[in-house]
Copies of this chain bind each other. A is one copy, B any other.
Amino acid sequence: MSKPKTAITPTRAENYSEWYQQVIAGADLAENSPVRGCMIIRPWGYTLWENMQRALDDMFKATGHENAYFPLFIPLSFFQKEAEHVQGFAKECAVVTHHRLEADKDGKLVPAGELEEPLVVRPTSETIIGDAFSRWVQSYRDLPLLINQWANVVRWEMRTRLFLRTTEFLWQEGHTAHATKAEAVEETMRMLDVYADFAENWMAMPVIKGEKTAAERFPGADRTFCIEAMMQDRKALQAGTSHFLGQNFAKASGIQFLGADGTQQYAWTTSWGVTTRLIGALLMTHSDDDGFVLPPKLAPQHVVIIPIFRVATELRAQKFNDTAVRVLVDERDERGGEKVWQWVRKGVPVRLEIGPRDMEKDSVFAARRDRAPKDKQSISRVEFVAEIATTLQSIQDWLFARAKAYRSENTRQIDDRDEFYEFFAAPKVAENAPTPIHGGFALTHFSGEVELEQKIKDELSVTVRCIPLEKGEAGRCPFTGKPSAQRVVWAKSY
């Protein structure tokens, strides 16, 4: 039996995690740098991130937020203000201890100028922003205070993977302060909705909105909400979080205000963020064995035109009525076939191949990235141009529908302990062979014991990904027999 040729080796089924790395390499999205755990985001990946930023930023501004910028460094004394918070991050902090380099007696450069107080490279900015808020907030008239920051952060991870878990990553962090608990909770949920909207309508990635259990709560938060997506290896990926921080950080940083009633009160705060991890999520939602697949709304280019003969610059003149269509003519001096496969691996939604005969007929060969590479259509240029906006929307819709169907096929309501264990048990394979794709999302009742969750995690590497906001019916926990208010989502996860 001849093996079908794919543009990416290995395929998802052969070795999922190696496939992931190869899709990134094949699409020129990013690469590992010589700095431990830090990635280089290449132009194709960075433009995707810029498009994500633009869309999210517009949504943040439409919901009343303003951007600002706070220091990269956090003095150790600030970082310690919230006890749970510092505990949560102490093990993964890059620490600046010196402020210059000096030659030692052998002429070797070594750190010099030791700082009186070490500085932590921000892993998140609640404490340093909280300090600013404590100065900015004096009266109820200063509230709500709705701030967002686009920044780099550093968490010293021991095992890193491009986009999914890197020592340095890019993100946005929203930080808001409110006069009442109700308003802060409302903000927390509003931003969760914004994230879900972005995931589904821009990334074409279906998500479940829910709350985290105590085990997965943000250090220092009262409640943590998240959106969870299913990847093609059926693991869950947390794609965004929104935290209701109660008055914990307000008390730690002294964010107090004079209420309308004349009393001094602590503010209620929230924080919420998404990161460059979204690129990994997008990749694992849509890509196939030929490489990256881009939802049109975020694609750096919508259409790539590949002349199959040496170049006719007049192709640039292909007019698209819709100026929102991003078109690239690939005039590089390379073989047409090689170019085609490069663009397949990069995931451009639509490819146009144009040879001399097509030019004569004023037609093009069009291929959609969401279909098989050989599935090309000869179509008149005029018709293609007239339909391109519809075509792009149809690709966007199809990617979402396909991802939603995949999730649905691999989600099971499970009411029996043995079935649960069987669902998640890894199939037996030869030593050193990669684990085949298995499992999925189990929607199972749960009576909520922390120890039980830990036991299941130890035995199966499966955890509660979230307690869905959409509650469904009450029932009985198959592990304890106790009553359960609703099903929760169990899965292996990134």
Name the residue among A70, A74, A120 with the largest chain B CB count within 10 angstroms.
Answer: A70
Contact indicator B109/A71 (Cβ below 8 Å): no
Q: Which B residues are in CB contact (< 8 Å) with A50?
A: 67
Q: Choose among B68, B91, B110, B119 the residue that contacts A100 (Cβ–Cβ < 8 A).
A: B91
Interface digits, A26-51 against B, CB 8 Å rule (1 contact, 0 not)?
00000101110011111100110110
A385 in the interface (beta carbon within 8 A)? no
A128 in the interface (beta carbon within 8 A)? yes
A96 in the interface (beta carbon within 8 A)? yes
Tell me the minimal C-beta distance from A131 to chain B in angstroms: 6
Q: Choose among B47, B78, B151 the residue that contacts A34 (Cβ–Cβ < 8 A).
A: B78
Known contacts A35-B128, A100-B90, A101-B95; is-contact A80 B68 (Cβ 8 Å): no
Instruction: Report Cα–Cα, A68/B28, bound state, in Å.
Output: 11
A18 in the interface (beta carbon within 8 A)? no
Q: Which B residues are in CB contact (< 8 Å) with A379?
A: none
Q: Choose among B73, B76, B118, B135 the residue that contacts A168 (Cβ–Cβ < 8 A).
A: B73
Instruction: Report Cα–Cα, A489/B101, bound state, in Å.
Output: 34
A121 in the interface (beta carbon within 8 A)? yes
Q: Choose among B41, B96, B109, B132 the residue that contacts A121 (Cβ–Cβ < 8 A).
A: B96
Tell me the minimal C-beta distance from A468 to chain B in angstroms: 35
A399 in the interface (beta carbon within 8 A)? no
Instruction: Report Cα–Cα, A131/B32, bound state, in Å.
Output: 12
Contact indicator B152/A72 (Cβ below 8 Å): yes
Known contacts A93-B99, A109-B90; is-contact A119 B35 (Cβ 8 Å): yes
A94 in the interface (beta carbon within 8 A)? yes
Contact indicator A97/B72 (Cβ below 8 Å): no
Contact indicator B120/A33 (Cβ below 8 Å): no
A482 in the interface (beta carbon within 8 A)? no
Q: Which B residues are in CB contact (< 8 Å) with A39?
A: 71
Q: Which B residues are in CB contact (< 8 Å) with A33?
A: 70-71, 128, 131-132
Contact indicator A46/B71 (Cβ below 8 Å): no
Tell me the minimal C-beta distance from A300 to chain B in angstroms: 9
Contact indicator B97/A95 (Cβ below 8 Å): yes
Instruction: Report Cα–Cα, A76/B98, bound state, in Å.
Output: 13
Contact indicator A43/B71 (Cβ below 8 Å): no
A466 in the interface (beta carbon within 8 A)? no
Contact indicator A75/B41 (Cβ below 8 Å): no
Contact indicator A156/B100 (Cβ below 8 Å): yes
Contact indicator A40/B69 (Cβ below 8 Å): yes
Instruction: Report Cα–Cα, A90/B111, bound state, in Å.
Output: 9
A366 in the interface (beta carbon within 8 A)? no
A154 in the interface (beta carbon within 8 A)? yes
Name the residue among A93, A141, A334 with the largest chain B CB count within 10 angstroms.
Answer: A93
A58 in the interface (beta carbon within 8 A)? no
Contact indicator A94/B109 (Cβ below 8 Å): no
- Interfacial residues of chain A within 141-163, with CB under 8 A of chain B in the complex: 141, 147, 151-152, 154, 156
A73 closest partner in B (C-beta)? B35
Residues of A within 8 A of B (CB): 31, 33-35, 38-43, 46-47, 49-50, 66-76, 78, 80, 86, 90-102, 109-111, 113, 118-121, 128, 131-132, 135, 141, 147, 151-152, 154, 156, 168, 170, 332-334
A sample of 10 more A-B contacts (CB under 8 A), given A99-B156, A113-B156, is A33-B128, A34-B78, A34-B131, A40-B69, A43-B68, A72-B121, A72-B152, A90-B102, A96-B121, A121-B121
Q: What are the nearest 4 A-B pairs in CB distance? A: A38-B71, A43-B66, A41-B69, A90-B101
